[in-house]
Amino acid sequence: MSSNGTLPPRAHASVDNLRTYLLAAGAKTPHRAAVIQAAPGGGLETVSWGELEARTDRCVEALDALGLDVGDRVIIESDTSAEAVATLLACATLGLPFVPVAPGLPDERLRAIIASAEPALYLQTVDGKRADIPEQVGTGRFGPEGVVVERQPVRRGPRRRRTVTPVDTAYIIFTSGTTGRPKGVAMSHRGVISFLRGARAADFLTIEDRVAGTAPLQFDFALFDIGFALSHGATLVPVPRDRLTWPRRLLAFLREAEVTQVHAVPSVWRPVLRHEPEMLAELGDRGALRGILFSGEAFPLNELRGVQALLPKARFINLYGPTECMAVSVTELPNPLPNDAERLSIGRAIPGAEVTLIGADGQSVEEPGVIGEIYLRSTSLFNGYWNDPETTRATLVPDPLHPRSGQLVLKTGDLASRGADGELYFHGRADSQVQIRGNRVELGEVETRVAAFPGITGAVASVLPHEEDEPQLHVFVTCDPGEPAPDARKVAAFCRTALPVYMVPHKMHVVDEFPLSANGKVDRTALRALVSS
């Protein structure tokens, strides 16, 4: 806290701030490893908790000198690393919302984010390649030694804020809004920390764990990995991006770093299953690998079963939820899954949060098996979309059960039903529900059935418009390498025995692999474009 008002605002150690929360667990063991990462010259390097705090404070000092005020934005372009963590913790210390972007983000996308966020400062790593940052933005680079400012940020008037509070924005994650204009999800310190605290109830990590993170920094999955590992006093092991493209290199890195937990979107496991199953099994057998956490999209059942079969002793966690609340639930799945499992449980909201399913009639859905939209009551709700009050109002809405209460809840846009056990089961996005001949089609059900056909390793279903006829159900499949492509008629017959006729794919397309979004999710738009082209 600044005493005489001229010193920069500081997060007080007694209140929720990303910096204090993430460094707390290591304070008593400054010599333990906080981060183990690929060393520039090859091999691995370790950054201790003490060193991580020292680097953070070196960054704070450099950022202090710029006279920025609480709320001034800082773009951080980097992959996950000890240096990036120190820089974002420095921003948190000073109440500077950081906007994480991954290297390789297209220039026009970065310019759109800059136009929207109007950051005071843009920081990249010492070997970053980005050039031509707009004049009005200050620029600098960061590395193990801290931050070096290249172009001073333009001072925007005197400091008006005296304190960094838990409800101040800690970061803004820009997602690709449906309108193409970037949508900035502004998340508070309190929001992130309350989700991380709630996620600890899963009792998944110990101080001994080494957590491999694979998400790009612009994806809040990466921020979760940083927060989840460090808040447990465990060690974060960022996986270099160039290790993700080849399964052999990925598994070799996990073995070399003696990783115990891997956090990844389902797509990371697809090439591993296809090309290096034995090497993965070895990591579970003789290696240290004992936990898999996945999120971002439903893990195709056949693929999840494949990974479980190779790691019979590992724990599996399904983490579900939108960036607007960091996430909703952390659910341990049985290993192996029951044979008759048709869909994955997304469990129940973390302690301190509550999900209500709301039906089309606006009333809460109480009967098991009935589908409703997930509304979330929680302290992890975001502050709003950056500079977009209208979309914010459509997402943070009055509690439908008590509209007069003034309480806001998150309207997630996701559909779910409750099983008899009270656990939630995901039924897709409300805006991606498709109708065929007036019937609601569960694309996930179609995909699960098609992927069960011998020789088919993956299936993504999509409804495509048809010029003279009504929309049609297509399915894109990947097949066992070396097997002949499956006969579409046989696949359709196989579906007809288990699905209603309107859920039998009209057309099947064989693809080598599924296109992925920047965050590693299956890019359904890119798949659909394959057909119309």
Ligand X SMILES: Nc1ncnc2c1ncn2[C@@H]1O[C@H](COS(=O)(=O)NC(=O)C[C@H](N)c2ccccc2)[C@@H](O)[C@H]1O
Residues that bind ligand X (CB under 6 A): 175, 220-221, 224, 295-298, 318-323, 326-327, 346, 412, 414, 426, 429
Nearest Cα to Cα of residue 519 among 302, 323, 254: 323
d(CA 448, CA 454): 12
Nearer to ligand X, 192 or 272 (CB): 192
Min CB(312)–ligand X separation in Å: 22
Min CB(215)–ligand X separation in Å: 7
d(CA 106, CA 110): 6
Q: What is the CA radius of gyration of the chain?
A: 24
Nearer to ligand X, 155 or 429 (CB): 429
Nearer to ligand X, 68 or 212 (CB): 212
Peptide bond into 30 cis (omega under 30): no
DSSP letters, 210-276, are EEEE-S-TTSHHHHHHHHHHHHTT-EEEEPPHHHHSSHHHHHHHHHHTT-SEEEE-GGGHHHHHHH-
Nearer to ligand X, 48 or 175 (CB): 175
Min CB(225)–ligand X separation in Å: 7
d(CA 375, CA 409): 6
Nearer to ligand X, 39 or 394 (CB): 394
CA 408 from centroid of its chain's CA atoms: 24
d(CA 287, CA 284): 5
CA 436 from centroid of its chain's CA atoms: 31
d(CA 452, CA 455): 8
Residue 501, SS3? helix
Min CB(359)–ligand X separation in Å: 18
Task: Tell me the two tokens of residue 186.
Answer: 């502004």
Min CB(224)–ligand X separation in Å: 3
408 forms beta bridges with 398
Nearer to ligand X, 262 or 346 (CB): 346
Nearer to ligand X, 45 or 297 (CB): 297
Min CB(404)–ligand X separation in Å: 28
Other C-beta atoms closer than 10 Å to the C-beta of 494 total 19
Min CB(186)–ligand X separation in Å: 14
Other C-beta atoms closer than 10 Å to the C-beta of 78 total 22
Min CB(69)–ligand X separation in Å: 29
Instruction: Identify residue 145 by its one-letter amino acid code.
Output: E
Min CB(344)–ligand X separation in Å: 7
Nearer to ligand X, 193 or 346 (CB): 346
d(CA 263, CA 42): 23
Query: How many alpha carbons fall within 13 Å on the CB side of residue 48?
Result: 9
> How far from 465 is each of 178, 272, 450, 515, CA to CA, in Å?
19, 34, 21, 20
**DSSP label of 338:** P
Other C-beta atoms closer than 10 Å to the C-beta of 338 total 8
Task: Tell me the two tokens of residue 375.
Answer: 């509304």
Nearer to ligand X, 37 or 329 (CB): 329
Nearer to ligand X, 98 or 221 (CB): 221
Say if strands 138-143 and 146-151 run parallel, antiparallel, or are unpaired.
antiparallel
Residue 192, SS3? helix
Min CB(510)–ligand X separation in Å: 25
Nearer to ligand X, 320 or 453 (CB): 320
Pair 446, 475: CB distance under 8 Å: yes
Torsion over CA of 15, 238, 142 and 518, rounded to 10 degrees? Answer: -100
**DSSP label of 69:** -
Min CB(443)–ligand X separation in Å: 12
Q: Tokens 């209140």, residue?
A: 15
Min CB(285)–ligand X separation in Å: 27
Min CB(432)–ligand X separation in Å: 9
Nearer to ligand X, 125 or 169 (CB): 169
Nearer to ligand X, 414 or 445 (CB): 414
